[in-house]
Structure 1
Amino acid sequence: MSIEEKKVKLFSLSANRPLAEKIAKAANIPLSNVEVVRFADGEITTNIEESVRGNHVFVVQPTSQPANDHIMEVLILADALKRASAASITIIMPYFGYSRQDRKVKSRQPITAKLVANLLTVAGIDRIVCIDLHAAQIQGFFDIPIDNFPAAPLLASYFKKKKLDNIVVVSPDHGGVTRARTFATFFQAPLAIIDKRRPRPNEAEVMNIIGDVAGATCIMLDDIVDTGGTLMAGAKALLQAGAKEVYAAVTHGVLTGDATKKIQESQLTELVLTDTIYLDPAKRQTKIKQLSIGNLLGEAIIHILNDEPISQIFNRITEDV
């Protein structure tokens, strides 16, 4: 049975409509209409404006800021879809909010990534599709299928076209070493690690640089940029250690507060992001480049509908790099 013969619906909630439109174009599935209503007291409800009975439904919604509102939108729409007899519900959640709370750092702290996974499962969702979870083991928090895909091939392809020389890939902390090592294989480049500590949340202090970066073009790789403090401190330390220039490649641009302004004024040559999170045009800066994952996620929908391996899409990009 072809996709045209299957009953499929694609919805976008309020977090990233432009990405949803790119996904719809790539999958050749028109966006269906859903209205998100907010009452005066902050309560949310949804109105699905067409029948979904017996349909395989895909919903695009990264849970970026305001994270709580965007998570509630997903849960409420999932409940509505289930009660409207949708055949299956797949959430395209490129950015999974609360993923940084994946373990207890101190006594009596919550593991909120697991809590959100439980909420999504109980809401009746059948599958989640994510890009670069903060920690791969978060997949184990779900009792439903979850596809977690890397943005590294897309980011590497962009840097390959720039034809940079003497590249050193830099992990901004010890936790990102595995991710950075995989990224370095695309360039057959050496790896460096920034030894940092966090005196307080959203603050970073560089202690040491492990590896030789003198005269190198450094590419710092991370999954999330929030305040930009880690990248700015890292760029400064790398240049002081003799690096020629410093780029940053990041999957999710959370970019809270005046982060974009700080990045523009920083010593970074360029920050390359994907569009998993919507970036307000008013916050765009000349040092920030955004790559779209819309085509990849559109292809992923087609593969899911045809019961084909989604990994083929990302393997193809890896081979091209």
Structure 2
Amino acid sequence: MRRVKIFSGTSHPGLTEAICERLGTTLGKCDLKKFSNGETSVDIGCSIRDQDVFIVQSGSAKANDSIMELLILISACKGGSANKITAVMPYFPYSKQSKKKSHRGAITARMLANLLTVAGVDHVITVDLHASQMQGFFTKPVDNLYAEPLLARWIRHTVPNWRDSVVVSKNPGGTKRVTQLADVLKLNFALITTDRRRKEDADQIPGNEKMITLVGEVRRKTVLIVDDMIDRAGSWISAAEHVKLRGGAKKVICIATHGVFGGNCLKEMEDCSCIDQIVVTNSFPIPEDKRKGVKKLVTIDLSQLLSEAIRRNHHGKFIPHYLVE
């Protein structure tokens, strides 16, 4: 593509290279380094005057460093007279903090949206925001892409007898996401409600949840437990154990867009005998040390979805309704 420059932050260079390969372009030269005191330094190594600039920087295990790096990159491109600056953020950091959880809590996702705007961003492309209303935090256009078509295609091509499967939400908040996928695949869906143990419980086990209700029939069926991200293992393991041991499901596949896998989450899910497969996209970089020895993990590539969004954005074409909300 002409008059386009694509830059990568340090959070997910592999995904950026895959996007560039699909677009038939090369990665823009950019020197990212840290000073001895921990400060981030950015030096754009090519002309970006009157160019459409796309900066690919996802959330990562070092979320704060990734954010600061992105903000400085945006500011540097703004100072370099770029025509338009688009932040491509496959996983939007702090997306779980999109509302107040206490009287004196902060809405951190809104603050990050404000920071991006002040830095000089003109457009944001992201994938499966934790809460779709977060788009209202921005004063600039936001394309919230859906990974649903990619997940549906994987299910159709990979899951044996997928038409006999049931899509399950492990909490009431994820019902809309689950029903949308179930409608696309023309499958039945079910819902699990959980009773989270209070902090004052003396016998509390960290991350443990007590299952109280399964609404729907899963006996002798393949269960697809779906949510937007996998961060902690507790609720996923509880849901898998409930549908398999009590519900009589024959197979359980955990599916999410963002594989954050905090702490020992991935290992705990790998060790769970009730979980047969773990399916995520590559929106969030998973370190090799966490992947080591994990056989259940399947990663779906997002580069096709993101490269198509970038191409259409640059040429001023509409993005199909089934890809964006």
Distance apart, 1:282 and its partner CA: 2.8
**Aligned equivalent of 1:218:** 223
TM-superposition CA deviations, 1:144-173 (whole Å, max 9, x none): 000001111101111111233421100111
Give the drift of 1:40. Answer: 2.0
Equivalent-residue separation in structure 2 for 1:19 and 1:86 (angstroms): 23
Structure 2: distance between partners of 1:223 and 1:164? 24
Q: 1:80-95 counterparts in 2 under 5 A?
A: 80-95=76-91
Would you say how many aligned residue pairs link Structure 1 and Structure 2? 311
Name the % identity. Answer: 37
Aligned counterpart, 1:73:
69
Given that residues 10 and 59 in structure 1 are in contact (C-alpha distance below 8 angstroms), is that contact kept between their aligned partners in structure 2?
A: yes
TM score, norm. by length of structure 1: 0.93
CA contact (8 A) 2:207 2:233 kept: no
Cα distance in 1, alignment partners of residues 322 and 31 from structure 2: 32
Mind listing any 5+ residue stretches in structure 1 that lack a counterpart? 316-321
The equivalent position to 1:172 in structure 2, one of 170, 173, 184, is 170
Pick from 179, 188, 191: which aligns with 2:189? Answer: 191
CA distance in 2, matches of 1:275, 1:242: 31
Regions of 4+ moved over 6 Å? none
Tell me whether 1:163 sits opposite 2:160 in the alignment: yes
Aligned ranges 1:108-147 → 2 under 5 Å: 108-147=104-143
Offset of residue 105 of structure 1 = 2.3
Would you say the 8 A contact 1:25–1:298 is kept in 2? Answer: no
Shift in Å, 1:9: 0.4
CA 1:252–1:127 in structure 2 vs 1: closer, same or farther (change >3 Å)?
same
Paired residues of 1:197 and 1:204 also in contact (CA < 8 A): no
**What is the alpha-carbon distance in structure 2 between the residues aligned to residue 207 and residue 313 of structure 1?**
34
Q: What are the ranges of 5 or more consecutive residues in structure 2 without an aligned counterpart?
A: 200-205
Question: Quick check: 50-59 or 32-41, which moved more?
Answer: 32-41
In the alignment, residue 186 of structure 1 is paired with which amino acid? V
Cα distance in 2 for residues equivalent to 1:120 and 1:9: 19
The whole-number CA distance in structure 1 between the counterparts of 2:188 and 2:287 is 35
* Alignment of 1:277 onto 2:284: yes
Q: Normalised by the size of structure 2, how large is the TM-score?
A: 0.92
Cα distance, 1:210 vs structure 2: 1.8
Deviations 1:5-62 (A, max 9, x none): xx11000000101100111011112101112111222211211111111111001001
Query: Secondary structure of 1:314's partner?
Result: coil
Query: Pairwise mapping of residues 18-37 of structure 1 onto structure 2 (< 5 A)?
Result: 18-37=14-33
SS at match of 1:104: coil
Residue in structure 2 matched with residue 148 of structure 1 by the alignment:
144
Deviation at 1:314, TM superposition (A): 3.2
Work out whether 1:253 is the aligned partner of 2:249: no
Letter in 2 for 1:170: V
